[in-house]
Structure 1
Amino acid sequence: MARHNPLRLDPDRDSLIALGQRVLALEAETLASLACDLETSFAEACQLLFTCKGRVVVVGMGKSGHIGGKIAATLASTGTPAFFVHPGEASHGDLGMITPEDVVLAISHSGETAEILTILPIIKRMGVRLLALTGAPGSSLALQADVHLPVRVAKEACPLDLAPTASTTAALAMGDALAIALYETRGFTPEDFARSHPGGRLGRRLLVYIADIMHTGERIPKVPVRAPLPEALIEMSSKGLGMTAVVDAEERLCGIFTDGDLRRALNRGVDVYKARIDEVMTRDPKTASADHLAAELVPLLRTHNISGLFVVDGDHRIVGALNMHDLLRAGVV
């Protein structure tokens, strides 16, 4: 016969909130204590990873393995080549993924994880350096490590002090601390980060330049400075950007005429059939440079309440045109 808990669990909302607060408070205390107790071994660990000529190979079993996967991903995305290897699979062929120039980062709260200890002799014979994250400085793993980084916790958040909770949070936070310390030491830039994340919005914002998305050549709407207004309207309609540039004989930008300028001209009673473009254009319009990031245009367009502009070179000659729709298509907005 199946055994059932005779106690009926029916907590109220306040009790659930109190339980959550207790866990978060305990884990926050754990991290605060970890920060206060940070030892010189942290600097040694950073130096070991920083000077690694190969890759950082992260290993861990169970919950530590899940944490290890995240640490490896964070390291890799912040300039430290890294990947995760399951220690159980390592004994069955995956050790071939590790080279003598690599550093193994082993995570085990007890420091006695059998699957990790099994592969240590092979790692040592290969000359691979070992960095251990454990909560037990006297453990087998800690004693065999080139650098031991202690991640001690006074108590798990689990009421039975069994389920990995505070200990995994501490290991995860220590992994973040290592990654960011290396990130800053390497002088990792937003552009470097974007190259690791080209599919995300950040990558698009930091890798897409105005030159990549602007309209060029025959697709640029432009008319001479003394052109009749109807000619400008035809140019605007044919190019579909809601604007046209007004240029002098040397293709230098003199002004811009937009849908908004047309509405303002009509409100003033301008005869659109007789007016010249230089009589109704906006002079000294906002412009951009082709070698700037496309994302830099977004605040400019919003601040000045404009939907498009022209791209000019150092002599103020037009080399391109773009509007907000181009920025939207490029995914930088």
Structure 2
Amino acid sequence: MATAPVPPIDDSAAGLAASGRRVFDIEAQALAAVAGRIDGDFTAACRLMLAARGRVVCTGMGKSGHIARKIAATLASTGTPAFYVHPGEAAHGDLGMITDADVVLALSYSGESDEILLLLPVLRRQGNKLIAMTGRTRSSLAREADVHLDVSVPAEACPLALAPTSSTTASLAMGDALAVALLEARGFTADDFARSHPAGALGRRLLLHIADIMHAGDDVPRVGADASISEALVEMSRKRLGMTAIVDDDNRLIGLYTDGDLRRTLDDHRFDVRNARIVEVMTRSPKTIGSDALAVEAAQLMEAHKISGLIVVDGAHRVVGALNIHDLLRARVV
């Protein structure tokens, strides 16, 4: 028996690019369709999650399971306690992880996933509220849910209409919409986000303070107002921060001298570097920062004024610390 001819493969640059653009077009249409259904059901789902005494338990099989896991992670990182439970494992003991205070968010595009439907009687007896996210409003899961979120799409981006593509994108976007709506309803802030991401770049930017990274005590370069330039240079060399503070008898900052100031002094033949007093060449009223400021504020100040170091002062303008750009780099703030 003759087999049908295999169509030629178009692996040209133009053909591949056209396939990629077609996927974006189809999935953009899918997202627009689902966005048009953000209505009372969406609001009801948000209110169930906000009212939950426990957590949001996300579940789904296959590709829907991957999306459910991502939604749980997004919810948890934006102020809504959540976790993922595999429905197959739930039927073999992991149901014990779900308490009667939890809300269940179940994803199944068909709405007929056996592993999820098997859990429904147990969840009902326990009193859990159920939010379903499906592509079929008349599916078994949609009918059993307290709230149904319709994520049906006009077409999958897969030309065979087999691989979940547009449908998983739509489900993921709906999960993001839920997370952001809840974030705003809870008044969740960037500081709250940083507390759940202490090891990330944002956590470092929002949680690290000047006091955590500054040089303090005897490590702070400083000289008195009666010091000579050469004495200031010795202090700068010893402390290796490329600068020294000039202080009065009460340790109050009156000026700053840096490596850049030294180059300018050498170009100015009015001064004898070995004998001139530091107060004659120092920078008066230098930029400073407080120890309770965020480290990222120091980075912004240095960038704005094109400087590489800062003296840290207290409320009475007494010197309590010092830091330079290398300290910020080591702390991975910049």
Deviation at 1:193, TM superposition (A): 0.9
Q: Does 1:323 align with 2:306?
A: no
Deviation at 1:12, TM superposition (A): 2.1
Pairs within 5 Å for 1:26-65: 26-65=26-65
SS of equivalent to 1:310: strand
Query: What TM-score do you get using the length of structure 2 for normalisation?
Result: 0.96
CA deviations on 1:259-296 (whole Å, 9 max, x unpaired) are 11111111112211111111111111000011111111
Residue 255 of structure 2 aligns to which amino acid in structure 1? G
Pairs within 5 Å for 1:120-269: 120-269=120-269
Q: Does 1:10 align with 2:10?
A: yes
| 1:4/1:220 CA distance change after superposition, 3 Å | farther
Deviation at 1:305, TM superposition (A): 1.7
Pairs within 5 Å for 1:112-127: 112-127=112-127
Q: Distance in 2 between matches of 1:21 and 1:273?
A: 70
CA deviations on 1:226-248 (whole Å, 9 max, x unpaired) are 11222211111111111110011
Q: Distance in 1 between matches of 2:160 and 2:258?
A: 70
Q: Distance in 2 between matches of 1:130 and 1:195?
A: 30
Query: What TM-score do you get using the length of structure 1 for normalisation?
Result: 0.96
Residues 37 and 150 of structure 2 are in contact (CA less than 8 Å); yes or no, is this contact kept in structure 1?
A: no
Residue 44 of structure 2 aligns to which amino acid in structure 1? E
CA deviations on 1:42-91 (whole Å, 9 max, x unpaired) are 00001111111111110000110011111111111111111111101111
Q: Does 1:282 align with 2:283?
A: yes
| 1:149/1:10 CA distance change after superposition, 3 Å | closer
Deviation at 1:100, TM superposition (A): 0.6
- Tell me how large the CA RMSD over aligned residues is: 1.4
Q: Which residue of 2 aligns with 1:103?
A: 103
Q: Distance in 2 between matches of 1:276 and 1:179?
A: 62
Deviation at 1:201, TM superposition (A): 1.1
SS of equivalent to 2:293: coil
SS of equivalent to 2:118: helix
SS of equivalent to 2:80: coil
Q: Which runs of 4+ in 1 moved over 4 A?
A: none
Q: Structure 2: which 5+ runs fail to align?
A: none
Task: Between 150-159 and 184-193, report the one with greater CA deviation.
Answer: 150-159
Q: Distance in 2 between matches of 1:66 and 1:104?
A: 16
Equivalences, count:
331
Q: Which residue of 2 aligns with 1:302?
A: 303
Q: Structure 1: which 5+ runs fail to align?
A: none
| 1:332/1:61 CA distance change after superposition, 3 Å | same
Residue 127 of structure 1 aligns to which amino acid in structure 2? G
Task: Between 153-162 and 247-256, report the one with greater CA deviation.
Answer: 153-162
| 1:144/1:217 CA distance change after superposition, 3 Å | same
SS of equivalent to 1:18: helix
Deviation at 1:5, TM superposition (A): 6.6
Q: Does 1:85 align with 2:85?
A: yes
Residues 156 and 163 of structure 2 are in contact (CA less than 8 Å); yes or no, is this contact kept in structure 1?
A: yes
Residues 10 and 16 of structure 2 are in contact (CA less than 8 Å); yes or no, is this contact kept in structure 1?
A: no
Q: Distance in 2 between matches of 1:202 and 1:47?
A: 29
Deviation at 1:114, TM superposition (A): 0.3
Q: Distance in 1 between matches of 2:274 and 2:20?
A: 73
SS of equivalent to 1:206: helix
Task: Between 241-250 and 228-237, report the one with greater CA deviation.
Answer: 228-237
| 1:34/1:201 CA distance change after superposition, 3 Å | same
SS of equivalent to 1:161: coil
Residues 45 and 147 of structure 2 are in contact (CA less than 8 Å); yes or no, is this contact kept in structure 1?
A: yes
Q: Distance in 1 between matches of 2:212 and 2:87?
A: 45
Deviation at 1:10, TM superposition (A): 3.4
Q: Distance in 2 between matches of 1:186 and 1:125?
A: 30
Deviation at 1:4, TM superposition (A): 9.5
